[in-house]
């Protein structure tokens, strides 16, 4: 695995991003290790990408494990419409949106990912 995050940059999760706020259907807008447009469904204890479900375990404070891998919520807008998620070890990242059209929220998600050292093509 080639890291997609500069480990020298600080990284944090959004403490109020719990499973209840994430629950529902999403679309991948951008990402590394995922394909844009893919469907994502988050349940109380499951995380499904393109119909492949894995367990979702909350570790509190915006931090989860999906199939044993770290998933941190780096940013979730106030209305839980757009989210920037990633692996703090640098394995992958993704921007999700409920409708697949985040509008101005896309810039905010990109800014957070840039701040935490995630590498985006063309950034």
Total number of domains in the chain: 1
> Which of 75, 104, 79 minimizes the C-alpha distance to 11?
75
Query: Does residue 40 lie in a domain region?
Result: yes
Give the model confidence (pLDDT) of 18-33 as tens digits: 999 999 999 999 999 8
Give the pLDDT confidence of 66-84 residue by residue, as tens digits.
998 999 999 999 999 999 9
- What's the rounded Cα separation, in Å, for the pair 4 and 42? 23
Residue 86 is part of which domain span? 19-115
14 located within any domain:
no
| In-domain check, residue 122 | no
Would you call 104 exposed, middle or buried from its count of C-beta atoms within 10 A (0-12, 13-18, 19+)? Answer: exposed
For residue 98, give the CATH number of its domain. Answer: 2.40.128.20
Nearest to 74 by CA among 117, 40, 44, 39: 117
Does the pTM exceed 0.85?
Answer: yes
User: Taking 90 as the threshold, does the pLDDT of residue 2 lie above it?
Assistant: no
């Amino acid at each position: 695995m080639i890291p997609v995050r500069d480990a020298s940059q600080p990284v944090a999760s959004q403490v109020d991003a719990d499973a209840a706020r994430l629950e529902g259907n999403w679309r991948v807008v951008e990402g590394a290790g995922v394909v844009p447009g893919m469907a994502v469904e988050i349940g109380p204890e499951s995380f499904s990408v393109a119909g492949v479900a894995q367990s979702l375990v909350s570790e509190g404070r915006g931090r989860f494990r999906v199939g044993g891998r770290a998933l941190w919520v780096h940013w979730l807008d106030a209305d839980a419409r757009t989210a920037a998620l990633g692996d703090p070890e640098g394995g992958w990242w993704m921007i999700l949106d409920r409708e697949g059209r985040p509008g101005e929220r896309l810039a905010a998600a990109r800014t957070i990912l840039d701040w935490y050292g995630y590498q985006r093509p063309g950034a």
